[in-house]
Chains A and B, each alone.
Chain A
C-alpha cells in the first residue's frame, strides 16, 4: 500500500512558466513533508520542506503548499528554468516516526524546455 503517491510520472513545462508537482498521502500521522530533487547519476538533494502546522512555505522560486484536509501537497516552481529539469521526490515523515525515517513517492520527472 503506497502511502505517498506522485501520480504524474512526468511533466513538461516551457521555460519561464510555472511548474506544479503534486503529491498525495494516505497516512494522517505524517506531520513533516519534504521535496527532494535528483539529477541523473547523482544522489537526491533536499529542496524544501513544510511542517503540518503550516500550509505554505516559500524559498526563492520554490513554494510548497500543504492541504491537510485533502492530504495533498504541491510544489510550485516559478519561473521554471531548464536547470530545474530533474526527478522530484515527495517524502513524508510520521509524527514520532522512528529515527527520522522518510516515506518516498515514486517521483515525477520534470522537463523544462527552453
Chain B
C-alpha cells in the first residue's frame, strides 16, 4: 500500500497563477483533509471531505477550492495564487474521527 500520496512535491508559482494539488489514498478511507503548515504554526485545516462528493470548509478556506469526485482522491485548487499561500500543504485521510494518515507534503512557493 502506498498510503497517502501527494502530487507535486514542489511547485513555484507566480502571483495570479492557478494550480491544483492532488491527493490520493489507497486505504479506502471516508474522510480526507487538506492542511497547511507555516513556520512557527501548527497544522491548520483548509477544507475536508467526509465522503465522495462532499466537501466542507475548515479553519482557513479562503482562496482555496476542493473537489472529491472519487473516494480515493481529494483535489485542492488555487484559482489565483497569492504570496500568502506560500506554505507546505499536507493531505490526510482517516477512517475514524481522530487518527489521521498524512501524505509527504507539497512545498508551494508563490512569488
| Also in contact, A99 and B99, with CB within 8 A (given A42-B104, A104-B43) | no
- What is the interface size of chain A, counting residues whose CB is below 8 A from a CB of the partner? 24
Query: Do the beta carbons of A89 and B99 come within 8 Å of each other?
Result: no
Give the docked Cα–Cα distance between A43 and B45 (Å).
Answer: 15
Are B42 and A104 in contact, CB atoms less than 8 angstroms apart?
Answer: yes
Question: Assuming A41-B105, A99-B56, is B97 touching A105 (CB within 8 A)?
Answer: no
Cβ-defined contact, A102 with B100, below 8 A? yes
Interfacial chain B residues near A41, Cβ < 8 Å: 104-105
Please indicate the chain A residues that have their CB under 8 angstroms from the CB of B92 in the complex. Answer: 43
**Contact B58 A106, beta carbon cutoff 8 Å:** no
Identify 19 new A-B residue pairs, CB closer than 8 A, beyond the known A43-B103, A99-B50, A99-B97. Answer: A9-B40, A41-B104, A43-B90, A43-B105, A44-B43, A44-B90, A44-B102, A45-B102, A46-B99, A46-B101, A49-B98, A89-B43, A93-B97, A93-B98, A99-B48, A100-B100, A101-B33, A101-B45, A101-B48
